[in-house]
Structure 1
Amino acid sequence: MTAAPERTAGKGLATGTLGLWGSTVIGLASTAPVYSLVATLGFVVLAVGASAPIAFIIAFIPMLFIAFAYRELNNAVPDCGTTFTWSTKAFGPWIGWMGGWGVAVAGMVVLANLSQIAGVYLWSLVGDGSLAENAPLVTVTGVAFIAAMTFISYRGVEIGERVQNILLAVQYLVLALFVVLALWKFFDGTAPNPTPFDIGWFNPFGFDDFSGFTEAVLLALFIYWGWDTCLALNEETKDPTRIPGRAALLTTVILLGTYVTVTVAAMMYAGVGEDGAGLSNPDNAEDVFLALKDGLFGPFGWVLVVAVLISAVSSTQTTILPTARGTLAMAAYKALPARFRSVHPRYRTPSFSTLVMGVVASVYYVGMTIISDDILQDSILSLGLAIAFYYALTGFACVWFYRRDLFTSAKNLLVRGILPLLGAVMLTLAFVQSAIDMYDPEYGNTVLLGVGGTFVVGIGALAIGVVLMLIWFVFPGAKPFFRGESLNRDTAVLVPDEPIAYPRSVDGGI
């Protein structure tokens, strides 16, 4: 059996702060359910038509399997470094470092997107909405949102949880109203294209086009991303070994129910036609809720706009949390400069890492906006590569970390071996297929180096991690990490104040 490593002094974070409810709320808020549906539902319907509900279900499967991997790894190693820490313990420092970089890249890119969405939707509520097209104004507003959410994250998890309780409640209230109104108008015959429920919407073999099927599933993968934030806060929960894993599983199941229910209601209300309010109308793809809000909510259509705004702002704050804690853990284990492991003496948050995350995301957002909004949009489209990369790596890490325990029981074989491996393989295939699709110059908004700009930005972002890792390797302070001394299979959980130099094991530091 793999024994849980001995615990020693932690990193100085505020322990015992979050319960199961708080962890689940933060996990849900990180996925930005309202915004995720706005950004994805229309394109999924365009790709597969009436098979959209089953596409969301199929995309949920690898997420669920990887959630099991997160839970099992967290049971033994409840460390806020999550993918970085677990991958290093499983495969050694080089692969582990890249796992940490994958988390950081995803956070940085999505923050730029969320802040822009928040700016656009805020100004669309003012006057005739034309201010939403003022790029400088939207950019300044987006940076202000990043600054505000960085401040909340800096002040502590507890205040962040209270804020998220309110923001998430508003999101789910509006989604509930959306479903109720859509079904009400379907049954009273006032829907623009009332479409009776069809069990065929859930037929896994009902896809007419394989390329459309893969596109829809890859799109749907994005809307589940973010639930792992509750694992990054494991050291700050009341029961680090059990609560985060349970919250992760609960979050993914709630998201599945949310997305499928809203999708079915929208299809019954508007149908999947290509005209008018139809969900397959290309003009509606970028914002299905915007196209349906007036018909559903009448003069209160602005409520949906507010919900999207709140969703983006909410996720901005929760996205900062895992990245800041990931870099804190990397610094604690000598994988980054020591400055990143600073913890605020009063708020007990990763102060320096949180501020750096806010500054880097703001600089990236402003820089991409100045260079080209098309490149910014392509970087957002490439986000799936980073997500699939570090989720798959976590699945493989689970199997390898527990490799000696897999056949000790049927349960261990299933939840530590088969399910994580299947999830990792699925996401690896998704990564490869996404990269192939993005390589096409016709994909996305730009062409760089003769291929799709989305491919160059996505693969380039991961490649930059290799460069940064090699640069850090040169510094003397990095040697304990890359020699497998400060973090290896036997390193104590939660990190001692000074990492213990364990001898490298004969199977490569694992």
Structure 2
Amino acid sequence: MSNPTDVAARPSAPDKGLAADSVGLLSMVSLGLASVAPAYSITVTLGLVVLAVGHLAPAALLVGFVPILCTAYAFRELNRVMPDCGTNFVWITKNFGPWSGWIFGNWLPQIATLIAMTALAQVGATNLLDLVGLTDLAGQTLPVTCLGALLIALVTAVAYRGVQLSAAVQTAMVAIQLAALVGFGVAALAHHGAATPSLAWLNPVGFHGTGPFAESVLLCLFIYWGWDAALTVNEEACDRTRTPGRAAVLSTLILLSTYLFTAVAAISFAGTGTKGLGLGDQNNTADVLATLAPAALGGSVAKGVQLAVALSSVAALLTCIVSTARPNVSVASHGAMPKIFARVHPRYRTPTFATVFTGVVAVALLAALSFAAPSFLGDAVLCIGLLVCAYYGATAFACAWHFRRDLRTSTQALLVKGLLPLAGGLMMLAAFARSAWDMVDPSYGATSIDGIGGVFLLGIGSILLGLPLTALLRLRFPDFFRNGRRTVTDLIITED
């Protein structure tokens, strides 16, 4: 059932030129998974979670998944009635106005994605150089940055050639990642001396102290981020009102299963001690799979896991290009950006200027952050959590508000359109507040200014920077900022 406020919406929308009915459920799930970079995310995060809560790391993964699942339902329900490739931008604008839509629905997702791309490019380049034996070059800024820029250029070219090609490449790389993680998990659990997994590791009320609990859950929130990339190709999906939402929810469930299995296997195999292979040893936290895979699988087979981590970052880069270009097409189509961003290739049916622009900006940002200072890049990546909580939370609240008149129609509507999104929004708000509080500490991250943590300044600064930028855009695009709520409705197809 559609929201009563949508009754006056037009039954059809102007064609943006994207390739309609060209992406199925499997491809969309692959896009959602690839954007998260599961192999990379779990290998760089699991050790940190273990340092915070020990053997309860699987429980932290489980608890951190709850707000993600609630938010995924918000995305699913909003996509059903407003299937526009602008996603957050359109949904938040419709419910909270153009200013909120532009800042929380466009600016924050774009900034978070571009910062993430710099880290992904570095990780992909470093792992590929190390994989082919060029270990010395893998530790140098210039070759890593050059190869990272080359990887961005490569995925930009693939994204430019069409969403079907992008989805096919993503599916292959995601399959390799999942096979590597499952293979590692099976070998680790079957290894002689591995401990028997315990249900106590999944106990969500077994944490001692709110500090470690909050820290671990926030880390887990970050490794689930990115599944919403699947919805940015909703206008190219088969059954655009339903398939993208299903892909979003299914992606999060696959991530949960994969992460839990890998975490349980790693703890069973290595334990949480502070010596040897123990996950409590800080020397092992930077790359858990690189530490454990050789011992569990053998040196030659472990190279496959390293390849999976490299492909994980490359696959995520490709999805970042795809998922950033399409919202730009939508924003430009709605009159909130220069029309050049709405250009679509007549043959490939993909964004032209928006795709190339994203790749160029990502390369420029990679070069700037890499040569500014390694610690600055690290802090920039850490601040992403604030941005994600902000725009995920805004989208969840937009869902609960949009369907407020539908909540009495059925128990299901009350649950999936109201209670779950509202809970997701509140949990994201709490995570934002807790993250900001922790990040103020100058010891959080590697930089600080006048006793304030650099991560906090970068995160809050990125959000506040959206205000003057939006004010300038209001002067350039006054029609959108006067009539944005109506125009975003006029340019989408709503559910019958």
Shorter-chain TM-score tier: over 0.9
Please tell me the residue identity of whatever aligns with 2:475.
V
Please tell me the residue identity of whatever aligns with 1:114.
L
Residue 486 and residue 348 in structure 1: after superposition, are their counterparts in 2 closer, same or farther (change >3 A)? Answer: farther
1:116-143 deviations in Å (ceiling 9; x for gaps): 0001101112336222101100000001
The answer for the alignment partner of 2:342 in structure 1 is 341
TM-score by length of 2: 0.96
CA RMSD of aligned residues (A): 1.4
The answer for the alignment partner of 1:493 in structure 2 is 492
Q: State how far apart, in whole Å, the 2-side matches of 1:400 and 1:491 are.
A: 19
In the TM superposition, 1:171-186 aligns within 5 A as: 171-185=177-191
Report if aligned partners of 1:333, 1:486 keep a CA contact under 8 Å in 2: no
Report if aligned partners of 1:11, 1:494 keep a CA contact under 8 Å in 2: no
The answer for the alignment partner of 2:40 in structure 1 is 35
1:252-310 deviations in Å (ceiling 9; x for gaps): 11111000011000010000111110011101111111111220122212222111100
The answer for the alignment partner of 2:478 in structure 1 is 479
The answer for the alignment partner of 1:364 in structure 2 is 365
In the TM superposition, 1:193-208 aligns within 5 A as: 194-208=194-208
How many Å apart are 1:450 and its aligned residue? 3.0
Report which stretch shifted further, 458-467 or 215-224: 458-467
The answer for the alignment partner of 2:272 in structure 1 is 272
How many Å apart are 1:485 and its aligned residue? 4.9
Report how many aligned residue pairs link the two structures: 487
Structure 2 counterpart of 1:56, from 39, 61, 65: 61
Report if aligned partners of 2:14, 2:491 keep a CA contact under 8 Å in 1: no
For the pair 1:160 / 2:166, whether they are aligned, the reply is yes
How many Å apart are 1:74 and its aligned residue? 0.4
Q: State how far apart, in whole Å, the 2-side matches of 1:305 and 1:322 are.
A: 26
Report if aligned partners of 1:321, 1:354 keep a CA contact under 8 Å in 2: yes
The answer for the alignment partner of 2:176 in structure 1 is 170
The answer for the alignment partner of 1:504 in structure 2 is none
How many Å apart are 1:490 and its aligned residue? 4.1
Please tell me the residue identity of whatever aligns with 1:374.
S
- Structure 2, unmatched stretches of 5+, are none
Q: State how far apart, in whole Å, the 1-side matches of 2:453 and 2:225 are.
A: 24
Report if aligned partners of 2:95, 2:485 keep a CA contact under 8 Å in 1: no
Please tell me the residue identity of whatever aligns with 1:79.
D
The answer for the alignment partner of 1:286 in structure 2 is 286
How many Å apart are 1:488 and its aligned residue? 4.7
- Secondary structure of the residue aligned to 1:406 is coil
In the TM superposition, 1:396-415 aligns within 5 A as: 396-415=397-416
Please tell me the residue identity of whatever aligns with 2:338.
P
Report if aligned partners of 2:90, 2:488 keep a CA contact under 8 Å in 1: no
For the pair 1:82 / 2:83, whether they are aligned, the reply is no
- Secondary structure of the residue aligned to 1:374 is helix
| Deviation >2 Å, runs of 4+ | 485-492
In the TM superposition, 1:94-493 aligns within 5 A as: 94-98=99-103, 99-127=105-133, 129-185=135-191, 188-189=192-193, 194-300=194-300, 301-475=302-476, 478-485=477-484, 487-488=486-487, 490-493=489-492
- Secondary structure of the residue aligned to 2:483 is coil
- Secondary structure of the residue aligned to 1:267 is helix
Q: State how far apart, in whole Å, the 2-side matches of 1:448 and 1:355 are.
A: 35
How many Å apart are 1:467 and its aligned residue? 1.9
Residue 492 and residue 326 in structure 1: after superposition, are their counterparts in 2 closer, same or farther (change >3 A)? Answer: closer
Residue 128 and residue 163 in structure 1: after superposition, are their counterparts in 2 closer, same or farther (change >3 A)? Answer: closer
1:29-77 deviations in Å (ceiling 9; x for gaps): 1111100101110101111001000100111111110111001000000
Report if aligned partners of 2:272, 2:278 keep a CA contact under 8 Å in 1: yes
Q: State how far apart, in whole Å, the 2-side matches of 1:51 and 1:319 are.
A: 32
- Secondary structure of the residue aligned to 1:408 is coil
1:390-444 deviations in Å (ceiling 9; x for gaps): 1101000001111111112111111111000000000011011101111100000
Q: State how far apart, in whole Å, the 2-side matches of 1:2 and 1:214 are.
A: 36
Report if aligned partners of 2:94, 2:484 keep a CA contact under 8 Å in 1: no
Q: State how far apart, in whole Å, the 1-side matches of 2:465 and 2:30 are.
A: 33
Residue 195 and residue 254 in structure 1: after superposition, are their counterparts in 2 closer, same or farther (change >3 A)? Answer: same
Please tell me the residue identity of whatever aligns with 1:436.
W
Q: State how far apart, in whole Å, the 2-side matches of 1:116 and 1:432 are.
A: 30
Q: State how far apart, in whole Å, the 2-side matches of 1:10 and 1:212 are.
A: 50
Report if aligned partners of 2:97, 2:484 keep a CA contact under 8 Å in 1: no
For the pair 1:17 / 2:22, whether they are aligned, the reply is yes
Report which stretch shifted further, 81-90 or 458-467: 458-467
Report if aligned partners of 1:235, 1:494 keep a CA contact under 8 Å in 2: no
How many Å apart are 1:367 and its aligned residue? 0.3
Report if aligned partners of 1:105, 1:462 keep a CA contact under 8 Å in 2: no
Identity of aligned residues (%): 43
Report if aligned partners of 1:88, 1:487 keep a CA contact under 8 Å in 2: no
Q: State how far apart, in whole Å, the 2-side matches of 1:487 and 1:139 are.
A: 44
TM-score by length of 1: 0.93
How many Å apart are 1:492 and its aligned residue? 3.9
How many Å apart are 1:195 and its aligned residue? 2.5
Please tell me the residue identity of whatever aligns with 1:29.
A
